[in-house]
């Protein structure tokens, strides 16, 4: 018989098996993966990914996402410009989807991860009113959906390349794809057990 | 809390959404156990999971091949016809110099979904034959790493968004691959997104225990 403190049980980040928190050198008893062995720099990895993502998000909004060539005339449209254009054309649902996927979700994710990373280190928001696990879970679930805009650009660029009319992906496509990729990495690198310890 | 040994921890589940600790209880076939804290599903119990998984993995692979070989959509613009397939979409990104986006797309919509279904196929076969204890463990770990990166469903929505953007400018015809992709995504949601990995681990443990006794 062994005695276990219930608050010392943590799930394995890979296989979700229940494990006893043994501190620094801890491997999962079921799958053998390391369980947050980087305890001494627990949030730094996530910070690094998050900052990279935010930096990449700036050119993603400045440069054109799509470049339309019609009869020799080039016309670029940024993410926000594309949303405004769609709204003016009357396709409100699509404008909303793009607005949500490429502007609201990334910005929300930045803010939530920012808040989580700060709050696990410093005593901010300790009043339990905010369900941080739910916040984190939400970012994990909705995060991948910001890739919609990149895929749309890829499809349009592949579909429309006639001699007179063609659509080419812009610089922002690369920047945006990198930004989304790094936000996903930042969310995965975040150590969820820190939430429990600090509330 | 007192336990016999560390392996007895297998009888406990931690909710993946809110981190509440639960003791695992036996439930009816086809029923699901929900978290008391947040109501999200902890695990299901399905006696036919291996058979379903095996059958749907094969079906999924067939539809995946169909979705990649046949044209996805065809448009008529200024009297000219154009069509795309999924690989063509990715190659056109490479052709226009967008290597990073091309690489990311290739992994997210082509390589990872294919890998997941292939792994599932091998995994369910191993579980069915009650063999390969070590290999099934490695496969489950690999599966856990690549499942969050499979975005076939998001790609499907993107196609629809792109097509709605084109309405009014061009005539659009859906190809065979589009319908195949819809079926593939439905199977993907049913067998990959709906079944938690911990259920597969539980299944694997049950089979190993059965085999040893």
Q: Kind and range of the H or E element at A133? A: helix A132-142
Span B73-94, pLDDT tens digits: 888 877 778 888 999 989 988 9
Q: How many CB pairs under 8 A join A and B?
A: 175
Tell whether B40 and B87 lie within a shared domain. no
Q: Do residues B80 and B176 both lie within one domain?
A: yes
Give the closest residue to B18 by CA, choosing from A40, A140, A35: A140
Total structural domains within chain B: 2
Cβ within 8 Å, pair B10-A97:
no
User: Which of the residue ranges A1-15, A40-54, B8-22 has the most confident prediction, judged by mean pLDDT?
Assistant: A40-54
Instruction: Give residue A125's pLDDT.
Output: 59
- The pLDDT of residue A146 is 87
Which of these, B106, B134, B140, B97, lies nearest to A16 by C-alpha position? B140
Verify that B34 and B74 share a domain, yes or no.
no
**pLDDT (tens digit per residue) in B86-121:** 999 899 889 888 898 899 999 998 999 999 999 999
Could you tell me if B133 and B39 lie in one domain? no
**B76 and B153, same structural domain?**
yes
- Domain identity same for B33 and B60: no
Across the range B32-52, mean pLDDT stands at: 84
pLDDT at site A21: 74
pLDDT in tens, A152-199: 889 988 888 777 778 888 888 899 999 999 999 888 888 777 776 654
* Residue B167, helix vs strand vs coil: strand
Beta strands (DSSP E) in A100-186 are: 165-169
* Residues B73, B4 share a domain: no
B-chain residues within 8 Å CB-CB of A134?
17-18, 38
Judge if B73 and B37 occupy the same domain.
no
CA distances from B60 to A149, B184, B185 (A): 26, 5, 8
Domain boundaries, chain A: 1-37, 41-197
A residues 144..183 contacting B (CB < 8 A): 144-145, 147-148, 150-152, 154-162, 164-165, 168-169, 173-174, 177-178, 181
B127 with B200, same domain: the answer is yes
Q: Is A17 on the interface with B (CB under 8 A)?
A: yes
Q: State whether B6 and B39 are in the same domain.
A: yes
For residues A60-88, average pLDDT? 84
- Identify from B162, B163, B205 which residue to disrupt to test chain A contact, counting A C-beta atoms within 10 A and taking the largest count: B162
Mutate to test the interface with B, among A64, A116, A146, A151 (most CBs of B within 10 A): A151
Name the pairing type of β-strands B21-23 and B12-14.
Answer: antiparallel
* Whether residue B93 is found in the same domain as residue B166: yes
In the predicted model, is pLDDT for residue B187 greater than 90? yes
3-state secondary structure of A9: strand
The whole-number pLDDT of residue A129 equals 60
Domain that holds residue B51: 47-212
Asked if the model's pLDDT at residue B57 lies above 90, the reply is yes
Predicted TM-score (pTM) of the model is 0.89
Output the CA torsion sign for B130, B134, B135, B141: positive
* Whether residue B170 is found in the same domain as residue B108: yes
- Quickly count: other Cβ atoms within 10 Å of residue A163's Cβ: 9
Residue A17 has a pLDDT of 80
């Amino acid at each position: 018989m062994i005695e276990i403190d219930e608050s010392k049980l943590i799930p394995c980040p890979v296989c979700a098996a229940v494990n006893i928190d043994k501190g620094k050198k801890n491997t999962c008893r079921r799958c053998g993966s390391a369980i947050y062995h980087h305890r001494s720099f627990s949030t730094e990895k996530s910070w690094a990914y998050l900052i990279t993502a935010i930096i990449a998000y700036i050119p993603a909004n400045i440069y054109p996402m799509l470049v339309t060539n019609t009869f020799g005339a080039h016309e670029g449209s940024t993410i926000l410009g594309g949303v405004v254009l769609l709204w003016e054309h009357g396709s409100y649902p699509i404008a909303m989807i793009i607005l949500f996927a490429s502007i609201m979700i990334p910005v929300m994710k930045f803010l939530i991860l920012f808040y989580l990373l700060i709050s696990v280190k410093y005593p901010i928001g300790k009043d339990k009113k905010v369900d941080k696990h739910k916040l984190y879970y939400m970012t994990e679930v909705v995060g991948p959906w910001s890739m919609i805009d990149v895929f749309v650009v890829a499809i349009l660029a592949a579909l429309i390349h006639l001699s007179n009319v063609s659509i080419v992906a812009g610089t922002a496509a690369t920047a945006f794809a990198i930004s989304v990729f790094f936000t996903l990495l930042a969310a995965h690198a975040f150590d969820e057990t820190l939430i429990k310890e600090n509330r | 809390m007192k336990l016999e040994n560390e392996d007895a921890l297998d009888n406990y589940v931690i909710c993946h959404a809110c981190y509440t600790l639960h003791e695992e209880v036996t439930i009816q076939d086809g029923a699901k156990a929900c978290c008391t804290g947040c109501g999200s599903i902890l695990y299901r119990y399905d006696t036919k999971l291996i058979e379903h998984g095996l059958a749907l993995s094969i079906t999924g692979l067939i539809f995946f091949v169909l979705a990649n070989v046949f044209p996805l959509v065809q448009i008529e613009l200024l009297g000219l016809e154009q069509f795309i397939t999924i690989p063509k979409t990715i190659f056109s990104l490479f052709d226009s110099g967008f290597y990073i986006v091309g690489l990311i797309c290739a992994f997210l919509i082509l390589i990872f979904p294919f890998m997941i279904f292939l792994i599932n196929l091998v995994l369910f076969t191993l579980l069915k034959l009650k063999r390969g204890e070590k290999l099934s463990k490695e496969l489950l770990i690999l599966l856990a790493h690549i499942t969050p990166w499979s975005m076939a469903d998001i790609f499907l929505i993107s196609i629809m968004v792109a097509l709605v953007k084109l309405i009014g400018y061009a005539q659009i015809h859906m190809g065979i691959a589009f319908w195949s992709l819809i079926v593939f995504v439905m199977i993907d949601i049913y067998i990959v997104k709906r079944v938690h990995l911990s259920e597969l681990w539980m299944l694997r443990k049950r089979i190993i225990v059965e085999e040893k006794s």
